[in-house]
Structure 1
Amino acid sequence: MNRRNLTIDTELVLLGFSNVLITNIFLSFIFSLIYIVTIFGNCFILCIVFINARLHIPMYFFISILSLVDLCNISSAVPKLLMDLFSGHPTISLFGCAIQIYVLLLIGSTECLLLAVMAYDRYLAICHPLHYPVLMKWSVCYGLTAFVCIFSLVTVILPSLAMPLKLCYPNQINHFMCEVLVVIKLACSDTSDNEIVIFAMSFLSLFFPFVLILVSYVCIISTVLKIRTAGRSKAFSTCTSHITVVALYFGTGMVTYLGPSSDVSSNQEKYVSIFYVIISPMLNPLIYSLNNREVKKNVSNFIFKLNSRQI
């Protein structure tokens, strides 16, 4: 087997965004800045929740889990993207590509289900406040978290492992990472069964949680409208951040996985995936910090204590 065929059998070429050096330098600066802000923001949320006993409640427990998931989400793609932007021939091994696909699928499914669990938590807190301490006790929180992880593993990873793909010419991916919908276009054989499995996976891990979230917020809005004006404003403010995250993450995810597929170009998948893999993990801590009075209050107290110690 000659070197050319060996390379095609063991590596895939990531076309990325551009071959122009100036453009790649600019993109590397932007993505580096986003990555730094994401790491700092999510780690800061984790620290604030960990050190403050007042935030040791189910709501902030799930926010902490979301921050961990976001850190894994952006780290699964951006470090490799930054290296490729400076590479003259960005490639990824078949093994590395498979690992990236499985990690992205697992993290994506986990985040969708976690957002549904967070919506359920807000539903109980607003619609059943008197029963909330019993219905959402710590054993239930841990059980829901374990369910999210196990369900994601069973519905996403196991079906993918059971249906491996044999890739053919060309060995180029019009993407900056290994996205399953793009890689499947390189398959030699018929992929109709794989597409059915992907649709079923997307329904269970994307559309089904989205429906649960909608039902939760219909109940929340119905309950909030019965509250007095002052209490109504406070209740709505606690849900604003969650609705923003859901709209951004599920909207872009459903466009990619439940929208019409394109056999000609994967430009749509490439640019839309930036939002749920890179932008959303950066915005989540900012959204929760800016729209959450308790978090802002604790951040202010934390900064005040640091200044006091310096003085």
Structure 2
Amino acid sequence: INDMLSFYETTHPKVIIYINNGFKNFQSLIYEDALHIHINHGESDKSSDHSNQVKGYDYIFVHGPNGYDNYMKYLIKLDPNQLVQTGRPQLDFIKPIKLDTFGRKVVIYAPTWEATHRSMRYTSVDIYGEQIVDALLSDERYYFIYKPHPNLGANDKKVLAIHQAMLEKIKNDPYAITITDTDVNNIYPIVDFAIFDMSSIMTDYLNVDKPFILADVFDPLVHKVDDYNVLKGCNRLTLENVENLLDVVTDEIDNDPMKAHREEIKRVYLGDYKQGESIKKFIDSVSNIIAQRDREVAQKDSEVVS
């Protein structure tokens, strides 16, 4: 803490921006002469994306109406003036990867990890993972990309074992690849169809307006499924239709049955921004908060002097 506070006291930051709710953030909030902004590292309908912890910050940046509504719906006594909608600035800076997919349609499976507690567990690896890999590797129409969460298997040995088995299968197939070192948003432009768990990378995928399905691993005792707006814009992967996964993939790519619903879902989750507008909104919002901080600190200092 001393090193951190010493750094702040010598650099005099006007705003401090937080990309998660890590416990060390609470130590950083000690610093009094800055305004503290929580931006998170993506948004979905996970409970972590409307955590009561955000009350420790001066402002909470959200992508669009869904993020705003979730905070106001789930939290008690949250000041709506603390919520600032900025869109998703990262989507203004996509650099599509170059990958030889041999003229095949590209399917990506991007599961999340098992997390640390029950209400945050959305991984599908131990339920659907091997069936997904086996099906897509068996069909010569598809090039398969596996993009696992970096923490996958960290807290569950069964999940880790299945993940490792999947990696071995993919490693030995010339029409499949595991990608771990690239921003997933740079992969989406070459993708034709995606299979997701509930996660923020699924939300970002709405930006490319392509078909996807969401793995149904929902626990009705802890997951508020009826509140998940994304389910209005995609179909689900279930224990029933996973047996016919290739038929599902073919139908989604050829017919895109949920396309009409995705445009509205995109606006709800990401806001209504043209290329370049979101980053401008973000910079303008931070600049306004810096100006507010300067006024507040000047007033505080003048009161101390008087």
Instruction: Give TM-score, length-normalised by structure 1.
Output: 0.28
- The answer to which structure has the higher helix fraction is 1
Q: Which fold has the larger relative contact order, with Cα–Cα distance below 8 Å and residues 6 or more apart in sequence?
A: 1
